[in-house]
């Protein structure tokens, strides 16, 4: 929710912000465990310890709350700071950090279940899949594209089409593992195996886009 839509004055502001956070945390937990249809606004209000009226006062409807919950979940694993290029952090390390966070996010049990729900809803002609994509995957994709654009301008990488390159990067991180998990064939990579997968994907990406003068 944009900052200009939050309470701007009055003694109740800190309490209101705390309630908003509680509602978001409850929504994330229920949407990811029970799906969209299985999570009512009444249940979310009860989980957050607030009234349903309070939920609606912060988030105008269930679809809006769902979008904000997805955005918040993505930002937990992939905070915006990860997509800011720093002179102190080698570009390879930045890519490894993003790749690790993304891999953990998409291969979590909750994320896999949510993706399956979205596929089912899309087959039914629901617009909720579009809401999900814009709030989560698309926002992450554009954040990555901006980092690659910055890396190109700094001469650390050579990226003619940052958006396309960002798409390629995340596809490399997904690999075949994510698809097998989605259809229930196989288990998520753990520990050193997960780290090696991300490292290999980053190395492939850098071989394609590293500038001759890159660190």
Is the pLDDT reported for residue 205 higher than 80? yes
pLDDT-derived band of residue 37, with 50, 70 and 90 as boundaries?
Answer: confident
Q: Are residues 85 and 49 in the same domain?
A: no
Tokens of 14: 């800190």
Of the three residues 33, 66, 99, the one that is the final residue of a domain is 66
Task: Give the separation between CA 11 and CA 94, rounded to whole angstroms.
Answer: 41
pLDDT mean over 14-24:
84
Per residue in 1-12, pLDDT (tens digit) is 344 443 444 444
Residue 35: give its domain's CATH number: 1.10.10.60
Per residue in 47-105, pLDDT (tens digit) is 999 999 999 999 999 999 998 888 888 888 777 767 888 888 899 999 999 999 999 98
Task: Give the separation between CA 59 and CA 155, rounded to whole angstroms.
Answer: 43
Tokens of 81: 């700071």
Q: What is the pTM of this model?
A: 0.79
pLDDT mean over 14-31:
87
Is residue 171 in a domain?
yes
The pLDDT, as a whole number, for residue 192 is: 96
Domain count, the chain: 2
Of the three residues 40, 66, 92, the one that is the final residue of a domain is 66
Tokens of 87: 């002179």
Residue 20 domain boundaries: 3-66
Q: Are residues 12 and 98 in the same domain?
A: no
Of the three residues 66, 97, 120, the one that is the final residue of a domain is 66
Contacts of 203 (CB under 8 A, 6+ apart): none
Q: Are residues 44 and 127 in the same domain?
A: no
Q: Are residues 43 and 106 in the same domain?
A: no
Q: Are residues 132 and 29 in the same domain?
A: no
What is the percent of the chain where pLDDT is above 90?
A: 57
- Is-contact 73 27, C-beta < 8 A? no
Is residue 73 in a domain?
no
Is residue 34 in a domain?
yes
Q: Are residues 181 and 87 in the same domain?
A: yes
Task: Give the separation between CA 179 and CA 98, rounded to whole angstroms.
Answer: 20
DSSP summary character for residue 4: G
DSSP summary character for residue 157: B
Q: Are residues 134 and 48 in the same domain?
A: no
Is residue 167 in a domain?
yes
Of 49-53, 69-73, 189-193, 197-201, the least confident: 69-73
Q: Are residues 116 and 23 in the same domain?
A: no
Q: Are residues 7 and 43 in the same domain?
A: yes
Is the pLDDT reported for residue 125 higher than 60? yes
pLDDT mean over 34-57:
93
Contacts of 90 (CB under 8 A, 6+ apart): 215
Residue 79: what are its φ and ψ, rounded to 5°? -60, 155
Chain centroid to Cα 47, Å, comes to 23
């Amino acid at each position: 929710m944009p900052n200009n839509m939050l309470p701007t004055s009055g003694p109740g502001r800190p309490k209101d912000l705390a309630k908003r956070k509680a509602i978001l945390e409850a929504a994330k937990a229920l949407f990811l465990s029970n799906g969209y249809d299985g999570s009512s606004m009444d249940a979310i209000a009860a989980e957050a310890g607030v009234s349903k009226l309070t939920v609606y006062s912060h988030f105008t409807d269930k679809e809006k709350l769902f979008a904000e919950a997805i955005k918040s979940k993505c930002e937990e694993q992939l905070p915006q700071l990860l997509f800011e290029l720093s002179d102190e952090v080698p570009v390879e390390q930045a890519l490894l950090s993003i790749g690790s966070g993304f891999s953990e996010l998409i291969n979590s049990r909750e994320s896999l279940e949510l993706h399956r729900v979205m596929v089912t809803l899309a087959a039914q002609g629901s617009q909720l899949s579009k809401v999900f994509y814009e709030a989560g995957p698309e926002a992450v994709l554009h954040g990555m594209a901006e980092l690659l654009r910055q890396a190109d301008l700094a001469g650390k990488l050579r990226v003619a089409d940052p958006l396309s390159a960002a798409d390629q990067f995340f596809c490399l991180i997904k690999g075949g593992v994510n698809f097998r998990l989605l259809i229930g064939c196989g288990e998520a990579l753990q520990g050193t195996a997960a780290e090696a997968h991300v490292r290999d994907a980053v190395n492939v990406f850098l071989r394609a886009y590293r500038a001759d003068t890159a660190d």
